[in-house]
């Protein structure tokens, strides 16, 4: 059984070298996030104005920033923070969104209508602007960036969970579960929900990328992460002013890493979807 | 002289997630003009693949690995793409199962016909309407103007299939491949479609390949027979001799399993199981379930306050130990009735008296905790969909025990589950498998084991075999009959197939438009039907000519 | 059938009402929660307590939130969105003058995205798992993965600063040109109407780079949806039947598959559009585009209640109407809508 | 077949794109008499008296309106000019004299001065305008008050061309305060025509329609995009400006502004970050003007509400712990005047601003902390204004690092520009923060008045010292040549040195880059754009 799943995984990966690449990249990011602090060459926070704005070299692979900090070390150490923000945000929206979506999809009626309106209301805002507003209103802190990112992603989980539950609800195993003496809520939680997980996992992976982009966008306009903490978005923002004057490495490396991380999660979502449902891959 | 269509040593392979798979090997088939050939087999026998390879419709991941297909002297395997394109629809036409989804859902029927005509230069923009009318007339469609301007969803399944046939006839093709053309249609529609196809074939001198799982239909409409199993041809016959004297064991098994007008449940397998040879116990006089004035009303969502009675005043009784058949076409309300009895839905009106207690008076919450939840169980139509894909066989069978019998002790559960598995003939090594690792018959057994786990008094069988191949159906029917006798269960057997219901039931109810139109003892209903509807139903059953 | 469809459209309108109400409430709550006392902000650099209090009263900020809300709703009904404190203009005027700029940019971006991503998606669906498919997937995913502020900056750096191909990123028109007479508010269209080809080219040049930045970002959802919808359509029974009937591949792909695939595509257009409007905020910042996105960011930073609320309402309205438009389009393309719905 | 059609589409598209990009003609700054300026901030009103008018809008008051008097302007020799706070020159008034024992000024108005509509400028217009400035409340009233003008009663029309300003008591600030952007002369006939009962001062009208007689008129204003000035050819109140048309375009991104001026697409770029300015100056292709802003300081403020900072030793410890040179290098790029490393705790001169007597000495800082009873340090957030992230952020980062070395743990608290005023200046609740304040009137006592007196807006440190309060009170109206002036000012500075509620780091500069041949940027105390002096070859 495990063997056949592995076999299938291998088949998919061999058909899709890009998915394989994404998996490897994902592993790399996780590894960097977990162990980065052990092997970075410089203290990512230590400034040294005498070597500020040096181009990439053997000592400083990605160059140094305007305070003489090592860009490479900062990019590496930022991995953990970025993944943490995205993961927590996505976890929150996953829990809330899928719970609401499942209830709406299973019970229908007014529950569905209220949840649907809620999702519509959130989606009626340009999401990035809404996130900005929330952070600005609730206070400029990391935790609020997480909340804001979580909130704007909730509708997507509602939609996916709702759609999936609506399909699953009509399958006969749900009725079989009811006949076995399960209450509706229990049936939903222990029978229907686990079967919606694959679709939700796909959404989760895709949303990770989204969440990283969103958090980076917010810190780009100065919300969220506080300096001197290294975070990709804020590093691009800081570096943006230096591009025109020729110090491209300040923005390029964190921006590129950010792109690579989002890229990796998007492809991973694709690969997951392939595994879950080859027809639905988009 | 070479025959009209000659398939020799055909082997087809597919690239799938599990690697390269051989779908058919060594298939030989030859057919002459005006032949009507039946390719018979159960699912996975390779009958459709064979048909698709004729027109090179195997898709991107399939290919003809070996063999030859020659049509009227043309080599179709080596043929250039353009040639195949011109043969498709023009020389060889095809009709499919699920006619509703084989027509472009958002294009008017007339336009689709016109696409076809103009593609093959059978008509110009000006002459197309006339030609379309002719075609529709040919397939016995009366209100041509409506149908022409209709979208497929506005037509019934039978009507769509007629349109498909019209498409197939549009270019006066010489060979028609009909791939299970009546699957998914009601019995009465089935007959009219098949009559139409065979009539047109005769009239237009069409050769036909009929791909079907239904031996009865094959015997009624065809003159040549090919039986396939697991990608191989096991038996060929140029006449109906095959029905009298099947050579291959598989053909024998298939033939036995196919319900005929008079077949009994015990003879569905070549060797009848012993337990069925005993005389069945007489049903008791005690009433188990009484349905009185049952009504279920749905409010239609798209129109204002319009309602629709799915079940419209149904009355019947089921005695202890009896199997009651409930027959009707799709949408007649038979499923709703059974779901109300199983308490998966609430009745709008009427009483459901189970051992004298009106179940409708018990609230949902209480019902789940009450004894009744155990006493009424159900076996579902779709063996795959009714098993939670993430639960093992053990979990599936143990679920009702845990929930309803409150058995938590692992060893007790273990022994009970094994006992149940044994009872339904499920090998104990399958117990930790997941549903997708089981065959259709095994899944059906799991469903039955689960349903009888809490020792119900009434078991509702909702089309329990309609998704199964006939050979599997035979075994499941026998299993059900055995369980009824051994455990003294009462059944409400819901099905669209009179022939199947007949074999298990002592009494039969026929339903139409939410009402019961006929009820009585099985023999009476079958031999002397009173209502017109029952008569059509019985007539529509394909007769095995032997 | 048509009356039914009209009824359906009416229903959609009704459905939008609670959404709008929710938007008004959220907008109000959100903006009132913004930190920073606008009275202090607008009192000016050397104001004292007294003048701040005076301004606070002037703005109605001394009243309770409930009263402020009702006053706001009342004004709203009168079509009065208030005065933006940071730009000093009426919010309604401000929005209506800036709105065409955002819309022109977003629509151009969307148009560019559509004409590249739909063919890409179709190609990918026609050859699934081929190199074309992989390449398409990598390209669009890379586009969607690039933070828009990052790509915008580097586009400007490369195409304006280094290569000099693109004009300076200073909004809708270069200094030397005057905006064309206002008809639609879209400079490209208005200049065409006025017959001023020089201004037309100038405005087109200005819009190309920001629109490409946006388009790159929007490629992915459209291309992927096209691909999956096309795959579904191409794998469907009716395409198989059409193939068996010998229809040529052009008819099959465009008349049979693409038209069916356009339905799911239509449903995500609303989302893509709002996605683009959100992305607009950052693009407008980078390219100094005088649209409502950059206006909203500035207003948000300045705690400019009226402007933020106006912006949000404007967006919500736009979104509701857009969805309505899509619904109507959908009803027109898909005959099934309204019958079994 | 389909493929080919796609390919065609794509090829056609790329051809279109390429041809578009190739046909771009690089527009070099354009005609001789038109000047193109890019700036980061946008004008939001034509009326400086209105509530909510932002600082960049003061340029309208400067360029489209006249005042009675103005400050002198002197060349700095680098293509730039600077106002001279010591010289008051005529603008609308040709002469003035102190009357009534120094309690009033009488101004003679220029005989041939007209507004744009050709009507003559009269004393009635001046009176109406000044009445408006003191009556509308808010910022203009406060600024007028600084010059001792609070009530319309103080303004008197003597005749058509003679105007009198009465003071409640003599003050050296009254005349300079008439040279700031606030007391503009408005065409009162036009304004009154557009006034209503609810709006007697025509704020609605003047908000969008300037009505003045200044050197430039409004040609076009697209809020949030650009402001186009057109020269008023009959301007009599100064030398007729050289440029006929000036376009001020808003470009929020500093990097884009740099690119525009560097590529020659615009004539002048304002508000460049120090780094860009320095690099452009080093490159030598452009004229870069970098001049210090009078009476302005970038400083670290310590809030005395926060317990450790109540101890002067802690404040001094912080002053010794700042990495001045690093900050000056990384945040100011060496542009500006250093404000550390002063020679002695007593000021030698009355010059302001002058370096404070502190420099980086971590040992001393550590010792002071121990003395103050904080041997293990403490933790305190550093609050910075995101609106000025260019300098506040690197400064805070370097401070944070350095303070950590003496045991002070400081988290950086970023506050959006909009909330800064409330949090820092009104609530005065920020413990450790970076502040900048520049006094419009260039007197040290004026600076101390705003920053060192309890309750005053810019005293975000909550510093309270009765000696400072009384000294400022006495000194503020005092003429500069009064005998007590210098000792008083020195004493103020001495207290500032000793008590250090705020530690200045450097005196900032204003950075402007111009195309070669463009001259005439004036560094005004109000830091806003004056286009009247620009010339272009």
Region of poorest pLDDT, from C327-341, D165-179, D186-200, D252-266? C327-341
Q: Which chains touch C (3 or more CB pairs under 8 A)?
A: A, B, D
What local confidence, expressed as pLDDT, does residue C46 receive?
Answer: 53
Sequence-separated (6 or more) residues with CB below 8 Å from residue D38: C170, D248, D249, D250, D251, D257, D260, D261, D266, D268, D269, D270
Cβ atoms D249, D43 nearer than 8 A: no
Closest-CA distance, A228 to chain D, in angstroms, reads 6
CB contact under 8 A, B450 and A176: yes
Tokens of D525: 């105390």
- Quick one: pLDDT band at residue A282, thresholds 50, 70, 90? very low
User: Is residue D17 pLDDT above 60, yes or no?
Assistant: no
Distance CA C125, CA C135 (A): 12
Q: What is the pLDDT of residues D130-177, one digit of tens each?
A: 999 998 877 788 889 888 899 999 999 999 999 999 988 888 889 999
Percentage, residues of chain C above pLDDT 70: 89
Q: How many CB atoms lie within 10 A of CB B158?
A: 18
User: Is residue D120 pLDDT above 90, yes or no?
Assistant: yes
Identify from D333, D397, D411, D434 which residue to disrupt to test chain A contact, counting A C-beta atoms within 10 A and taking the largest count. Answer: D397
What local confidence, expressed as pLDDT, does residue C337 receive?
Answer: 66
Judge whether B142 lies within some domain: yes
Cβ atoms A258, C147 nearer than 8 A: yes
CB contact under 8 A, D253 and C43: no
Chain B positions touching A177 (Cβ under 8 A) are: 388, 399
Sequence-separated (6 or more) residues with CB below 8 Å from residue A132: A148, A218, A221, A223, C281, C297, C300
Element (H, E) at B225: strand B224-229
Same domain, B194 and B57: yes
Residue with tokens 């036909």: B208
What local confidence, expressed as pLDDT, does residue B302 receive?
Answer: 52
User: Is residue A197 pLDDT above 90, yes or no?
Assistant: no
What local confidence, expressed as pLDDT, does residue A31 receive?
Answer: 93
Last residue of a domain, one of B258, B273, B301: B258
Residue of B nearest to C257 (CA): B104
The residue among A265, A277, A157, A276 whose CA lies nearest residue A205 is A265
Q: What is the pLDDT of residues A135-177, one digit of tens each?
A: 877 877 889 999 999 999 999 999 889 988 988 888 889 989 9
Last residue of a domain, one of B215, B231, B258: B258
What local confidence, expressed as pLDDT, does residue A277 receive?
Answer: 60
Sequence-separated (6 or more) residues with CB below 8 Å from residue B387: A173, A176, B396, B435, B443, B446, B447
- Quick one: pLDDT band at residue C30, thresholds 50, 70, 90? confident
Tokens of D332: 């100011």
Q: What is the pLDDT of residues C254-302, one digit of tens each?
A: 888 888 888 888 888 878 887 888 788 888 877 888 888 878 877 776 6
The residue among D51, D90, D83, D47 whose CA lies nearest residue D67 is D90
Q: How many CB atoms lie within 10 A of CB D290?
A: 22
Partner residues linked to D396 by β-bridges: none
Same domain, B327 and B227: no
For B18: left if phi > 0, alpha if psi spans -120 to 50, otherwise beta; the answer is alpha
CB contact under 8 A, A176 and B433: no
- Quick one: pLDDT band at residue C36, thresholds 50, 70, 90? low
Cβ atoms C92, C79 nearer than 8 A: yes
Greatest Cα pair distance in chain C: 85
- Quick one: pLDDT band at residue D15, thresholds 50, 70, 90? very low
Greater pLDDT, D291 or B449: B449
User: Is residue D496 pLDDT above 60, yes or no?
Assistant: yes
Q: Which of A220, A259, A280 sits opposite C228 (nearest CB)?
A: A280
Tell me the CA end-to-end span of chain A in Å, nearest whole number. Answer: 28
What local confidence, expressed as pLDDT, does residue D188 receive?
Answer: 93
What local confidence, expressed as pLDDT, does residue C76 receive?
Answer: 78
CB contact under 8 A, A172 and B390: no
Tokens of D84: 């001279």
Distance CA D201, CA D50 (A): 10
- Helix, strand, or coil (residue C121): helix
Task: Give whole-number Cα distances, B30 to B9, B75, B89, B241, in Å.
Answer: 11, 14, 20, 18
Give the number of A-D residue pairs with CB atoms closer than 8 Å: 66
- Quick one: pLDDT band at residue D31, thresholds 50, 70, 90? low
Identify from B91, B102, B181 which residue to disrupt to test chain C contact, counting C C-beta atoms within 10 A and taking the largest count. Answer: B102
The angle, 0 to 180 degrees and rounded to 10, between the axes of the packed helices C259-286 and C91-126 is 130
User: Is residue C62 pLDDT above 80, yes or no?
Assistant: no
Same domain, B138 and B213: yes
Domain boundaries, chain C: 12-77, 95-294
Q: From the CB coordinates, do chains D and A have 3 or more pairs under 8 Å? A: yes
Percentage, residues of chain D above pLDDT 90: 54
Eight-class DSSP state of C35:
S
User: Is residue D529 pLDDT above 70, yes or no?
Assistant: yes
Cβ neighbourhood burial of D264 (10 Å; 0-12, 13-18, 19+): middle
CA dihedral over D89, D90, D93, D98, signed as positive or negative: positive
Q: Which of C4, C244, C333 sits opposite B57 (nearest CB)?
A: C244
Same domain, B233 and B329: no
Judge whether B297 lies within some domain: no
Tell me, what CATH number does A73's domain have?
Answer: 1.10.3720.10
Chain centroid to CA C191: 23
Q: Which range marks the domain in which residue A147 is found?
A: 2-45+60-169+196-281
Greater pLDDT, C281 or A87: A87
Give, for all 546 residues of chain B, the pLDDT tens digit: 568 888 999 999 988 777 788 889 989 988 888 889 999 988 888 888 998 888 888 877 888 888 889 888 888 888 887 888 888 888 899 998 888 888 988 888 999 999 888 888 788 888 888 999 988 988 888 888 888 888 888 888 888 999 999 988 888 888 999 998 888 788 888 888 999 999 988 888 889 999 998 888 888 899 899 999 988 999 998 888 888 888 899 998 888 888 877 778 877 887 778 777 777 777 778 899 999 999 998 876 555 567 888 898 899 999 998 999 999 988 888 989 999 999 888 889 899 999 988 988 888 888 888 889 999 999 998 888 899 988 899 999 999 999 888 888 899 999 999 999 998 988 888 888 888 888 888 999 999 999 999 999 999 999 888 888 888 899 899 999 989 988 889 999 999 888 889 888 999 999 998 999 999 999 899 889 999 999 988 888 877 765
Q: Which of D262, D326, D412 sits opposite A227 (nearest CB)?
A: D412
Buried b / exposed e along C142-151 (16+ C-beta atoms within 10 A)? bbbbbbbbbb
- Helix, strand, or coil (residue D462): coil
Cβ atoms D369, D377 nearer than 8 A: yes
CB contact under 8 A, C238 and B55: no
Q: Does D258 touch chain A (CB under 8 A)?
A: yes
**Count of the separate structural domains present in chain A:** 1
Tell me, what CATH number does B100's domain have?
Answer: 3.40.50.300
Percentage, residues of chain A above pLDDT 70: 93
Mean pLDDT of chain D: 87
Judge whether B360 lies within some domain: no
Q: From the CB coordinates, do chains D and B have 3 or more pairs under 8 Å? A: no
Q: Model pTM?
A: 0.81
For B407: left if phi > 0, alpha if psi spans -120 to 50, otherwise beta; the answer is beta
Chain A positions touching D414 (Cβ under 8 A) are: 140, 222, 226-227
Judge whether B414 lies within some domain: yes
Buried b / exposed e along B272-294 (16+ C-beta atoms within 10 A)? eeeebeeeeeebeeeebbbbeeb
Distance CA B389, CA B395 (A): 11
Cβ atoms D172, D478 nearer than 8 A: yes
Kindly report the backbone phi and psi dihedral angles of residue D358, in degrees, each rounded to the nearest multiple of 5, phi listed first.
-125, 150
**Count of the separate structural domains present in chain B:** 2
Greater pLDDT, D531 or C52: D531
Judge whether A178 lies within some domain: no
Q: What is the pLDDT of residues A43-75, one digit of tens each?
A: 888 888 788 888 898 889 899 988 889 999 999
Same domain, B70 and B159: yes
Q: Average pLDDT in the D80-94 region?
A: 90
Instruction: Supply the Cα-derived Rg of chain B in whole angstroms.
Output: 25
Mean pLDDT of chain A: 85
Region of poorest pLDDT, from B312-326, C297-311, D76-90, D513-527? C297-311
- Helix, strand, or coil (residue B323): strand
Q: Which range marks the domain in which residue B58 is found?
A: 5-258
Cβ neighbourhood burial of D345 (10 Å; 0-12, 13-18, 19+): exposed
Domains of chain D: 1-42+221-291+510-537 (3.40.190.10), 66-213 (3.90.76.10), 296-507 (3.10.105.10)
Chain A positions touching C149 (Cβ under 8 A) are: 217, 220, 236-237, 240
Judge whether B341 lies within some domain: no
- CATH fold label, C95-294: MetI-like fold (1.10.3720)
Give the DSSP per-residue string, B60-93: TTEEEEEEEEEETTEETTT--HHHHHHHBTTTEE
Residue of B nearest to C238 (CA): B102
Q: What is the pLDDT of residues D434-491, one digit of tens each?
A: 998 888 888 999 999 989 998 888 899 999 999 999 999 899 888 888 899 999 999 9
Q: Does D251 touch chain C (CB under 8 A)?
A: yes
């Amino acid at each position: 059984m495990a063997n056949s799943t592995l076999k299938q995984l291998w088949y998919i990966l061999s058909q899709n070298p890009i998915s394989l690449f994404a998996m490897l990249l994902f592993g790399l990011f996780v590894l960097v996030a977990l162990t980065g602090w052990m092997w970075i060459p410089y203290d990512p926070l230590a400034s040294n104005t005498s070597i500020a704005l040096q181009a990439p070299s053997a000592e400083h692979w990605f160059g140094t920033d305007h305070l003489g900090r090592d860009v490479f070390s900062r990019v590496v150490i930022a991995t953990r923070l970025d993944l943490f923000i995205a993961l927590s945000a996505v976890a929150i929206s996953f829990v809330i969104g899928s719970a609401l979506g499942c209830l709406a999809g299973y019970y229908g009626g007014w529950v569905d209508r209220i949840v649907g309106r809620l999702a519509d209301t959130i989606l009626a805002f340009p999401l990035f602007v809404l996130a900005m507003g929330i952070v600005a209103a609730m206070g400029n802190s990391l935790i609020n960036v997480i909340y804001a990112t979580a909130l704007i992603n909730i509708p997507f989980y509602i939609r996916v969970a709702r759609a999936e539950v609506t399909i699953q609800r009509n399958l006969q195993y749900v009725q079989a579960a009811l006949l076995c003496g399960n209450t509706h809520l229990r049936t939903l939680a222990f029978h229907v929900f686990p079967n919606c997980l694959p679709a939700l996992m796909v959404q989760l992976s895709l949303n990770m990328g989204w969440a990283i982009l969103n958090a980076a966008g917010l810190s780009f306009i100065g919300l969220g992460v506080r300096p001197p903490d290294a975070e990709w978005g804020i590093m691009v923002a800081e570096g943006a002013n230096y591009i025109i004057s020729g110090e491209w490495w300040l923005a390029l490396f964190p921006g590129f890493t950010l792109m690579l991380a989002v890229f990796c999660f998007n492809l991973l979502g694709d690969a997951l979807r392939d595994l879950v449902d080859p027809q639905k891959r988009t | 002289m070479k025959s009209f269509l000659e398939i020799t040593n055909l082997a087809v392979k597919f690239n799938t997630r599990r690697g390269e798979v051989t779908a058919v090997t060594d298939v030989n088939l030859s057919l002459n003009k005006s032949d009507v050939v039946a390719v018979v087999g159960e699912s996975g026998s390779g009958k459709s693949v064979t048909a698709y390879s004729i027109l090179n419709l195997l898709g991107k991941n399939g290919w003809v690995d070996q063999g030859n297909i020659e049509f009227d002297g043309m080599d179709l395997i080596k043929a250039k793409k353009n040639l195949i394109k011109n043969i498709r629809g023009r020389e060889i036409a095809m009709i499919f199962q699920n006619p509703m989804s084989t027509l472009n859902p958002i294009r008017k029927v007339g336009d689709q016909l016109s696409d076809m005509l103009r593609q093959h230069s059978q008509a110009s923009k000006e002459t197309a309407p006339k030609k379309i009318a002719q075609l529709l007339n040919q397939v016995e469609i009366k209100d041509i103007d409506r149908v022409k301007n209709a979208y497929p969803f506005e037509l019934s399944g039978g009507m769509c299939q007629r349109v498909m046939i019209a498409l197939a006839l549009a270019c006066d093709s010489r060979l028609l491949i009909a791939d299970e053309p009546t699957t998914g249609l009601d019995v009465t529609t089935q007959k009219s479609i098949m009559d139409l196809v065979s009539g047109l074939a005769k009239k237009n001198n069409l050769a036909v390949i009929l791909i079907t799982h239904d031996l009865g239909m094959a015997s009624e409409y065809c003159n040549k027979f090919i039986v396939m199993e697991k990608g191989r041809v096991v038996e060929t016959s140029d006449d109906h001799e095959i029905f009298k004297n099947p050579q291959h064991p598989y053909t024998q098994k298939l033939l036995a399993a196919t319900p005929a007008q008079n077949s009994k449940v015990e003879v569905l397998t070549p060797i009848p199981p012993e337990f069925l040879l005993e005389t069945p116990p007489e049903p008791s006089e005690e009433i188990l379930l009484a349905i009185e004035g049952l009504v279920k009303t749905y409010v239609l969502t798209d129109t204002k306050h319009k309602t629709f009675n799915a079940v419209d005043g149904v009355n019947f009784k089921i005695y202890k130990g009896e199997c009651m058949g409930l027959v009707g076409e799709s949408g007649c309300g038979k499923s709703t009735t059974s779901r109300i009895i199983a308490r998966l839905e609430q009745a709008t009106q009427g009483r459901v008296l189970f051992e004298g207690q009106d179940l409708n008076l018990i609230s949902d919450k209480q019902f789940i905790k009450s004894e009744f939840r155990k006493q009424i169980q159900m076996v579902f139509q779709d063996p795959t969909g009714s098993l939670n894909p993430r639960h093992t066989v053990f979990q599936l069978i143990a679920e009702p025990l845990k929930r309803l019998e409150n058995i938590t002790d692992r060893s007790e559960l273990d022994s009970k589950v094994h006992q149940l598995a044994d009872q339904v003939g499920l090998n104990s090594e399958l117990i930790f498998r997941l549903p997708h690792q089981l065959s259709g018959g095994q899944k059906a057994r799991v469903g039955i084991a689960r349903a009888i786990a809490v020792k119900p008094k009434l078991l509702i069988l909702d089309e329990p075999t309609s998704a199964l191949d006939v050979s599997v159906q035979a075994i499941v029917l026998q299993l059900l009959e055995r369980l009824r006798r051994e455990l003294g269960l009462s059944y409400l057997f819901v099905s669209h197939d009179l022939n199947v219901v007949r074999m298990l039931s002592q009494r039969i109810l026929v339903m139409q438009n939410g009402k019961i139109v006929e009820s009585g003892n099985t023999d009476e209903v079958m031999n002397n039907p009173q209502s017109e509807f029952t008569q059509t139903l019985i007539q529509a059953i394909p007769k095995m000519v032997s | 059938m048509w009356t039914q469809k009209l009824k359906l459209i009416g229903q959609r309108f009704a459905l939008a009402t609670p959404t709008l109400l929710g938007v008004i409430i959220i907008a109000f709550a959100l903006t009132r929660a913004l930190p920073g006392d606008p009275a202090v902000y607008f009192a000016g650099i050397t104001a004292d307590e007294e003048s701040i209090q005076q301004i606070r009263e002037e703005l109605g900020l001394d009243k309770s939130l409930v009263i402020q809300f009702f006053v706001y709703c009342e004004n709203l009904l009168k079509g009065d969105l208030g005065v933006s404190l940071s730009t000093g203009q009426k919010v309604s005027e401000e929005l209506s003058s800036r709105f065409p700029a955002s819309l022109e940019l977003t629509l151009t971006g969307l148009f560019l995205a559509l004409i590249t991503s739909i063919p890409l998606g179709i190609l990918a669906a026609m050859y699934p798992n081929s190199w074309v498919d992989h390449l398409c997937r990598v390209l669009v995913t890379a586009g969607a993965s690039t933070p828009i502020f990052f790509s915008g900056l580097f586009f400007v750096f490369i195409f304006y600063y280094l290569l000099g191909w693109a004009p300076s990123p200073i909004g809708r028109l270069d200094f030397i040109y005057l905006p064309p007479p206002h008809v639609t508010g879209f400079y490209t269209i208005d200049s065409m109407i006025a017959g001023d080809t020089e201004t037309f080219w100038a405005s087109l040049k200005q819009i190309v780079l920001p629109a490409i930045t946006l388009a790159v970002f929007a490629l992915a959802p459209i291309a992927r949806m096209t691909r999956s919808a096309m795959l579904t359509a191409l794998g469907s029974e009716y395409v198989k039947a059409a193939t068996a009937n010998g229809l040529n591949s052009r008819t099959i792909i465009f008349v049979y598959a693409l038209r069916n695939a356009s339905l799911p595509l239509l449903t995500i257009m609303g989302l893509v559009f709002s996605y683009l409007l959100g992305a607009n905020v950052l693009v407008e910042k980078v390219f100094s585009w005088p649209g409502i996105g950059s206006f909203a960011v500035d207003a948000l930073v300045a705690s400019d209640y009226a402007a933020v609320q106006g912006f949000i309402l404007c967006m919500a309205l736009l979104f509701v109407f857009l969805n309505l438009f899509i619904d109507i389009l959908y009803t027109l393309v898909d005959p099934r809508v309204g019958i079994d719905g | 077949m389909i493929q080919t059609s796609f390919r065609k589409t794509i090829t056609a598209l790329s051809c279109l794109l390429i041809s578009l990009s190739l046909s771009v003609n690089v527009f070099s700054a354009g005609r001789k008499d038109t000047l193109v300026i890019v700036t980061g901030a946008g004008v939001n009103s034509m009326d400086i008296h209105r509530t909510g008018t932002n600082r960049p809008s003061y340029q309208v008051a400067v360029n489209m309106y006249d005042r009675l008097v103005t400050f002198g302007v002197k060349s700095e020799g680098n293509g730039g000019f600077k106002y001279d706070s010591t010289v008051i020159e005529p603008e609308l008034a040709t002469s003035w004299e102190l009357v009534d024992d120094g309690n009033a000024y009488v101004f003679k108005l220029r005989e041939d001065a007209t507004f744009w509509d050709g009507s003559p400028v009269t004393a009635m217009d001046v009176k109406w305008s000044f009445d408006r400035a003191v009556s509308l409340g808010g910022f203009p009233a406060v600024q007028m008050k600084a010059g001792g003008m609070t009530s319309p009663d103080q303004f008197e029309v003597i005749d058509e061309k003679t105007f009198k300003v009465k003071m409640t008591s003599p003050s050296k600030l009254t005349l300079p305060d008439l040279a700031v952007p606030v007391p503009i002369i408005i065409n009162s006939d036009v304004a009154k025509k557009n006034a209503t009962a609810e709006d007697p001062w025509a704020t609605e009208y003047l908000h969008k329609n300037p009505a003045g007689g200044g050197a430039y008129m409004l040609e076009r204003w697209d809020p949030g995009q650009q402001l186009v000035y057109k020269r008023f050819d009959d301007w009599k109140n100064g030398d007729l400006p050289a440029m006929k048309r000036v376009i001020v375009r808003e470009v929020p991104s500093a990097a884009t502004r740099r690119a525009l001026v560097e590529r020659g697409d615009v004539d002048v770029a304002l508000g460049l970050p120090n780094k860009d300015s320095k690099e452009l100056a080093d490159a030598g292709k452009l004229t870069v003007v970098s001049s210090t802003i009078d009476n302005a300081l970038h400083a670290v403020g310590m809030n005395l509400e926060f317990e450790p900072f109540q101890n002067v030793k802690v404040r001094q410890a912080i002053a010794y712990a700042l990495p001045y040179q690093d900050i000056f290098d990384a945040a100011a790029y060496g542009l500006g005047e250093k404000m550390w490393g002063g020679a002695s705790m007593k000021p030698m001169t009355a010059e302001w601003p002058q370096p404070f007597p502190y420099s980086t000495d971590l040992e001393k800082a550590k010792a002071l902390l121990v003395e103050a009873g904080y041997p293990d340090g403490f933790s305190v957030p550093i609050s910075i204004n995101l609106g000025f992230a260019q300098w506040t952020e690197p400064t805070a980062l370097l401070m944070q690092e350095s303070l950590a070395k003496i045991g002070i743990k400081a988290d950086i608290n970023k506050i959006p520009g909009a909330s800064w005023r409330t949090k820092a200046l009104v609530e005065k609740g920020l413990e450790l923060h970076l502040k900048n304040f520049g006094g419009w009137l260039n007197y040290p006592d004026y600076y101390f008045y705003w920053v060192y007196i309890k309750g005053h807006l810019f005293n975000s440190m909550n510093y309270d010292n009765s000696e400072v309060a009384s000294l400022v009170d006495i000194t503020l109206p005092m003429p500069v040549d009064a005998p007590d002036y210098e000792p008083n000012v020195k004493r103020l500075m001495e207290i500032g040195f000793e008590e250090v509620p705020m530690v200045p780091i450097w005196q900032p500069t204003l950075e402007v880059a111009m195309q070669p041949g463009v001259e005439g940027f004036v560094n005004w105390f109000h830091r806003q754009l004056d286009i009247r002096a620009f010339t272009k070859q």
